[in-house]
Structure 1
Amino acid sequence: MIGFGINQLQGMIPPSLYNLTSLIVLSFSDNNISGDLPKDIGLKLPNLEIFQIPGNKFTGTIPFSFSNCSNLAELSLGENSVIGKISINFSQMSNMRVLMLFGNNLGSSDDLRFIDSMINCSKLETLIVGSNKLRGVLPISIGNLTSQITLLSFENNFIYGTFPSGIGNLVMLEQFFLRLNQLTGRIPSELGNLQNLKRLYLGYNKFTGNFPYIIGNLSLLDSLSLSYNRLEGQIPQSIGNCRRLASLYLSGNKLTGPIPKEIFQLSFLTTDLNLSHNHLVGPLPQEIGKLKSLASLDLSQNRIFGPIPNAIGSCTSLEYLDMNTNSFQGPIPPTMSALRGIRDLDLSSNNLSGQIPRFLEQLNLSSLNLSFNNLEGEVPMSGIFKNASAFSIIGNSRLCGGLPELGLPKCAMLERSKEGSHVSRVIVGIILVCSILVIAILFSLLFCWKRRKTQTLPTQTLPTQSSSIQSFSRVTYGSILKATNGFSEQNLIGSGNFSKVYKSILEPDGAIIAIKVLNLENQGALKSFVVECEALKNIRHRNLVKIITSCSSVDFQGNDFKALIYEFMPNGNLEKWLHPSLSQETEKQEDAPQRLSLHKRVTIATNVAHAIHYLHQECEVPILHCDLKPSNILLDSAMVAHIGDFGLAKFLPLKPHQSSSIGIRGTTGYAAPEYGVGNEMTKEGDIYSFGILLLEMITGRRPTDSIFHEGLNLHGFVKMALPDRVMEITEPTLLLTHEELIEDKNGRNLKRLEEGVISLARIGLACSMESPRQRMNTSNMIHELHRINEIVHSKKG
């Protein structure tokens, strides 16, 4: 076996390697190797089982001699510059599992006949030949491939003809990609046989006929693309049966009728909903507000009318919203001020009226288009309105003011023409104001008399935990000293390298808070304080610890003093729930932390994933946390998770030399492996830490556990057990805390628990891959975690 994957190797493969006739595995994935493959490679290496060279610069044709490698199980030549025909005869390769030839320049006459020779590949799971120049009709033999195949990709080629018949025989198919071709005709009903299908991409072809009703049979779909075909008719209500859809692309067709409300009940719809460039008609239902986690919504170029529903404000995860070229009318609803993550907003070419809302100045918009409406009044001058190239308001004739380069009339000039008609109103107004002032003076005198009378009565105030944040706007060293009882150990609830955290009651309001006091004697503590203040001053998210204020002063000896005051988290940190100490185990039942059920663990993980997505994707300046671990995950009274401790955070893009800090960034075991060799900090580093956190939540083992030695780590420990032995490594008390597990006599709940644990483990492994570019992204993390929540919470039976 020879493997040099993911390096920076250049040049050509030494010819001597091709003389190792007993070689079974040869892998040079993701390098910069060039040259042609030897024509006789299959004769020189007849025992090859795995041949991997994707992500290089190989040229030439695919040698026909690979046909001689009867033991070949994987042939991966993707993302090179290979040309010509796929001429290999696969008829003797019964062990072939994976064929990946995508991202080359393959193509000649009669390009797809190689599929005929693959019907004997009874173990075939993956066939990917997308992004080439293949031409021709998909042969009937595609329906005779093994029913075990799970992934087929022919996208981005020049394939024509009708939908391949017999596709319904491939009942285990999970992913099917045919987009960006020239296929015609109707989408056949036999597609409904593919009950395991999760991703179906048929967009950018020339399919005709009505929207395929059989889509509603594919209940496991998580992504569907039918965009830019010639489909007609209404979107059927049965689309609501696809309850796991995370992205839905139907743009660029001839679809008619109203948008079915069932689409808005797809709770997993978190990535994209694109219905643009159709003939959809009717009002936008209030049910739109149910898509609270949707990131992108495009309804442009339709015939939707009526007001923009107030419920749109509930779509708080939206980053992209395009509603241009419809017939929306009325004012821009004030509820849209809740769209704090919105980046691109297009409401142009509608019939919207009223003034430009001031809340648009507060949103972190990158682009805004309000053109060709009936808006009036003054154009704001802050926020996005400070940059004339970032927004458009043309086609609104009654606007005024704004930046000089807009060339709009001054608002005062428009008002002057109306002054004459307002004179009488002004006089009446003056008289009215004077009358109100007289009445206000009389009431003030009466109020003062009553207050003086009641001041002699005894009063009593009680401490409260719901005091206003404004009361903490100025906090002194003395008040913190008193609140922490002189920094008493009895008030101490946590400590780290740079600080200690105390549970405190701050007078005079009596609210319970957490005070983080920096130990400025430790090197790096002051920098940690500055970084945390900078990170927290502009971010707001329900799953981030809320900072109330800070204190930068001196103590009574004249020494510098720094502290941060946070909202108190009654349930402490995740560390104590995953690893309760012996003393905690023996505490009174009501005080000791209880073990977490799988449902609670998945919910906590989902909270954390949403926070990471916000930091990476939704902040104006993306933030890397750099120290995700259980002790930095805090739990409020409802067990909702909040990420805390931003003392090691970094802002993107990194400043020069910011990534060359000495030592590992973060905490050993949770820090990404690339940080240990001096690589720059990236979003993928936080993803790695999150993956390790998930694996720790499943196994109950820290990544620094004593069992991990001689090359074994937490990632490898879980990977070896997946899937058959996963319950053996699961924290034992998870079985005891799973809801209704004991009630179930048929093993259904245990099976549901096992399925949930396996799925959670797969996410943890995908996030903690050694290679940063192989790690899962935050959108997929969130989608998969919501799916697991559905598994864990599914009804019995």
Structure 2
Amino acid sequence: MFPLSLYNLSSLETISLAINQLHGSLPQDIALTLPNLKILAISGNLFSGRIPNSFSNISTLEKIDLSENSFVGSVPNNLGNLQNLQQFLINGNQCGIGEADDLEFVNSLVNCTHLAGLELTNNGFKGPLPNFKANLSTQLSVLLLGKNQISGTIPVGIENLVNLTELGMEINFLEGNIPFLIGKLPKLQRLFLGGNRLSGQIPSSIDNLTLLYELHLEENNLNGSIPSSIGNCHQLQFLTLYNNSLQGLIPKQLFLISSLSISLDLSSNSLTGSLPIEIGKLKSLSTIDISKNRLSGEIPSSIGDCNSLEHLYMGGNFFEGIIPQSLTLLKGLQDLDLSLNNLSGHILKDVEKLSALQSLNLSFNNLEGEVPTKGIFGNATAIFVNGNDKLCGGIVELHLPACTNHGSTKQEKSNAVRIVLPIIGVILGFFLISSMLTLFWIRRSKSKPPSTPLIGDQFLKLSYKDLFQATGGFSSANVIGSGTFGSVYKGIINQGETNVAVKVLNLQNPKVYKSFMVECKALRNIRHRNLVKILTSCSSIDSKGKDFRALVYEFMPNGSLDDWLHMPVEAHNHSRSLNLLQRLNIAIDVASALNYLHYNCYVPIVHCDLKPSNVLLDRDLTAHVSDFGLARLLLKHDDNSSQTQTCTIGIKGSIGYAAPEYGMGGRATIQADVFSYGILLLEMFTGKRPTDQMFTGDLNLHNFAKAALHVHVMQILDPTLLPKEEQSEEIEEIATNRIKVPSNRTNQLQDCITSIIEIAVQCSMESPKERMNMNDVARGLHLIKGKFS
């Protein structure tokens, strides 16, 4: 605990106890005991409780650092009286959680004449920020408000903080535009606004921030083009704009910022046009990521002049032509991703000589010829060349066809031409006649009223027009879900007799085309009662002449498992609550589906994105696993059942549910699905998401459940699963402080929950080798259900 003897030292000026294991709370009358205190630095401990109001009475205070503790509650509004205060830091606490939306204290603190640093990062503050007054005389240079729940817009008057060198508002719920007046902060060096809901364009006034060396605007809804005026930020070293809706050309002025040396990330936008040849001017840059855009043209050879480049990501665009030879000049290159483009020609043999290269992705292009075998090409886990049908050779593990040696003489070729040409002529003539007959038949068929076959074993035939009418013109009123790859609409077909779910893909996302093919391939030949049933797919042209892709599924009237676990009761038309037996049945359903995918399909399938929102419930609350947009098909290559993915698109899984090996570039495996299932099972019976705010540092959902085995398992159980009489008895036990003798019913419930949590913990082990397989999981859950029933 905090040394109580310190409170008797009224002349004490400095308390520095950072990074220890001290706990307890600060006395609310601290001003009476330590009236001359100047510095209080107790960061990195276990202190809790509220921040004392009496701080405002210690006029000598210059620094308060309470960071990385467990303080709660609101921040006192009267701290603006501390005119000597220079730093106030409470990063990494739980302040603001459960409190009213009141951030007025920020204005109070900012108004402290000598305050230089105000850091409130990673707390639970919510609500809008107050507007900053125009008559501020503050010396504030650092204002960090990131990783909270702050909403509203960037406050009016931000431009009045003219001494700011660092401004952090990242990972909040801010919306609206980035104010143009932000360009009136001439001393700003670091600006963090990523992970919000900001929209509009990047203001051209950014060019006034000539001292800026870090700019983070990623993961917002920014649109428009990248302003060319950004080229005036001559000190910029780090620029991240990924995952927005930016359009237009990449301004060449961006590549003339010679100071760019750490990272340039423009990925996951809708940028178009060619890559400017000025890219070669970035001679000091370590990382370039322009993946997942709509860039086209050839890769400029000047890229070979970026001689400090270590990581280059250009996948998911429309680049064409050959791979430039100049890429082999990048001797320090560690990662190179050119996948999902239209590149042609041969693989450069000199890539073998790039000794630093650790990962090479050339998949899904039009490359041809022989794959080299030396250097990185000798490591099958480090290279990806799938999706290039004309490649041959390479090491055995790649399983490419052998290269054939065409040594024909000119005379042989000439004779072949003489023989082949007449044959081609006959074939073309036959094809022309067949095409004319086919066209006549199609036109004749169109004149007859279309007939849609009933839903059965055969696939439906639905056009864009059919789906447009079925969903009320893709009305927003019929939207039942949305995600990265598109939106899902409720529709009615067969003259109003059949409800369906129509997944319309967002073709602005380059990954969607591959996702569409993967999902079709995965679902085409699989049938199981616990997998969502696909009725048909539609690949057509919409009313505006643009490509249209959609998948049509059987409709699930009870929505997703996520809705039932987490959506408030008042959000439903009726109360939704799953009892223990219903949750156990759903867990068995999902386990059965995964067991089928892993061991009973024509080829093993890894789902890759199992989570409650991808588990749908039918009218009888039977679970159906859905959304195979990230699925991998696996092929067994030898008796040891080593498996290699044959379909690769994008990042595997969702945060909190993805196996830890995915974060280290691991390939898709059935063991990774088992990890996701373990997390889902824990969520079902604890009621806590893996992304819950309580899970910070080394504490996660797995460790939380593991620590509760076996004595405290009922304390982590979702309270809604406790029988009402058990809940009331538990309240009485706490009120009377007596020991309760468990009933037989309670013992039975505890045994059941313990067994389920044990399976979930075993499935979510960090090491894939320690996880159960889904066959044993399904069998174990059936046994638990039998005992409990």
TM-score computed with the length of structure 1 as normaliser: 0.50
Moved over 3 A (4+): 141-147, 418-427
| Contact 2:133–2:160 (Cα < 8 Å) also in 1 | no
Tell me what 2:387 maps to: 395
2:55 to 43, 63, 66: 66
Q: How far does residue 144 in structure 1 lie from its aligned partner after superposition?
A: 5.5
2:95 to 74, 98, 106: 106
Taking the TM superposition and a 5 Å limit, the aligned residue runs for 1:237-636 are 237-363=228-354, 364-412=356-404, 415=405, 418=406, 424=412
Return the alpha-carbon distance in structure 1 between the equivalents of residues 44 and 222 of structure 2: 37
Q: How far does residue 101 in structure 1 lie from its aligned partner after superposition?
A: 0.8
SS at match of 2:234: coil
1:683-740 deviation digits (Å, cap 9, x = unpaired): xxxxxxxxxxxxxxxxxxxxxxxxxxxxxxxxxxxxxxxxxxxxxxxxxxxxxxxxxx
Amino acid across the alignment from 1:70: S
Return the alpha-carbon distance in structure 1 between the equivalents of residues 134 and 362 of structure 2: 51
Taking the TM superposition and a 5 Å limit, the aligned residue runs for 1:116-135 are 116-118=107-109, 120-135=111-126
Determine what percentage of the aligned residue pairs are the same residue. Answer: 49
Tell me what 1:715 maps to: none
Tell me what 2:588 maps to: none
SS at match of 1:117: helix
Tell me what 1:587 maps to: none
SS at match of 2:55: helix
Tell me what 1:688 maps to: none
1:209 to 197, 200, 204: 200
Q: Mark the CA change 1:145 to 1:133 in structure 2 (over 3 Å): closer, same or farther.
A: farther
Query: What is the root-mean-square deviation in Å for CA atoms of aligned residues?
Result: 2.0
| Contact 1:344–1:367 (Cα < 8 Å) also in 2 | yes
Amino acid across the alignment from 1:13: F
| Contact 1:286–1:309 (Cα < 8 Å) also in 2 | yes
Q: How far does residue 120 in structure 1 lie from its aligned partner after superposition?
A: 4.5
SS at match of 2:327: helix
SS at match of 1:82: strand
Taking the TM superposition and a 5 Å limit, the aligned residue runs for 1:633-782 are none
Q: How far does residue 213 in structure 1 lie from its aligned partner after superposition?
A: 1.0
| Contact 1:355–1:378 (Cα < 8 Å) also in 2 | yes
Tell me what 1:57 maps to: 46
Return the alpha-carbon distance in structure 1 between the equivalents of residues 347 and 243 of structure 2: 31
2:227 to 233, 236, 243: 236
Q: How far does residue 281 in structure 1 lie from its aligned partner after superposition?
A: 1.1
Amino acid across the alignment from 1:381: T
Amino acid across the alignment from 2:172: N
1:628-687 deviation digits (Å, cap 9, x = unpaired): xxxxxxxxxxxxxxxxxxxxxxxxxxxxxxxxxxxxxxxxxxxxxxxxxxxxxxxxxxxx
SS at match of 2:174: strand
| Contact 2:77–2:104 (Cα < 8 Å) also in 1 | no
Q: How far does residue 157 in structure 1 lie from its aligned partner after superposition?
A: 0.7
SS at match of 2:50: coil
Amino acid across the alignment from 2:331: R
> Unpaired runs of 5+ in structure 1?
1-11, 428-797
Amino acid across the alignment from 2:220: N
| Contact 2:25–2:49 (Cα < 8 Å) also in 1 | yes
Amino acid across the alignment from 2:16: S
Q: How far does residue 353 in structure 1 lie from its aligned partner after superposition?
A: 1.1
Return the alpha-carbon distance in structure 1 between the equivalents of residues 46 and 410 of structure 2: 77
Return the alpha-carbon distance in structure 2 between the equivalents of residues 213 and 411 of structure 1: 54
Tell me what 1:673 maps to: none
Return the alpha-carbon distance in structure 2 between the equivalents of residues 344 and 31 of structure 1: 40
Q: Mark the CA change 1:241 to 1:141 in structure 2 (over 3 Å): closer, same or farther.
A: closer
2:85 to 78, 83, 96: 96
Amino acid across the alignment from 2:116: E
1:384-422 deviation digits (Å, cap 9, x = unpaired): 22221222111000111222222211113xx4xx45677
1:210-232 deviation digits (Å, cap 9, x = unpaired): 22111112111111111121122
| Contact 1:234–1:257 (Cα < 8 Å) also in 2 | yes
1:742-787 deviation digits (Å, cap 9, x = unpaired): xxxxxxxxxxxxxxxxxxxxxxxxxxxxxxxxxxxxxxxxxxxxxx
Return the alpha-carbon distance in structure 1 between the equivalents of residues 258 and 338 of structure 2: 25
1:433-460 deviation digits (Å, cap 9, x = unpaired): xxxxxxxxxxxxxxxxxxxxxxxxxxxx
| Contact 1:299–1:322 (Cα < 8 Å) also in 2 | yes
| Contact 2:352–2:376 (Cα < 8 Å) also in 1 | yes
| Contact 1:67–1:88 (Cα < 8 Å) also in 2 | no
Return the alpha-carbon distance in structure 2 between the equivalents of residues 141 and 45 of structure 1: 32
1:544-586 deviation digits (Å, cap 9, x = unpaired): xxxxxxxxxxxxxxxxxxxxxxxxxxxxxxxxxxxxxxxxxxx
| Contact 1:353–1:375 (Cα < 8 Å) also in 2 | yes
Return the alpha-carbon distance in structure 2 between the equivalents of residues 208 and 262 of structure 1: 23
Tell me what 1:76 maps to: 65
Q: How far does residue 423 in structure 1 lie from its aligned partner after superposition?
A: 7.4
Q: How far does residue 90 in structure 1 lie from its aligned partner after superposition?
A: 0.9
| Contact 2:228–2:251 (Cα < 8 Å) also in 1 | yes
Q: Mark the CA change 1:420 to 1:267 in structure 2 (over 3 Å): closer, same or farther.
A: closer
SS at match of 2:167: strand
Q: How far does residue 119 in structure 1 lie from its aligned partner after superposition?
A: 5.2
2:131 to 122, 130, 140: 140
| Contact 1:49–1:71 (Cα < 8 Å) also in 2 | yes
Tell me what 2:637 maps to: none
Tell me what 2:4 maps to: 15
Return the alpha-carbon distance in structure 2 between the equivalents of residues 381 and 37 of structure 1: 66
| Contact 2:114–2:138 (Cα < 8 Å) also in 1 | no
Return the alpha-carbon distance in structure 2 between the equivalents of residues 33 and 74 of structure 1: 19
Return the alpha-carbon distance in structure 1 between the equivalents of residues 357 and 134 of structure 2: 49
Return the alpha-carbon distance in structure 2 between the equivalents of residues 202 and 166 of structure 1: 17
Amino acid across the alignment from 1:211: I
Q: Does 1:199 align with 2:206?
A: no
| Contact 1:66–1:88 (Cα < 8 Å) also in 2 | no
Q: Would you say how many aligned residue pairs link Structure 1 and Structure 2?
A: 412
Return the alpha-carbon distance in structure 1 between the equivalents of residues 116 and 296 of structure 2: 47
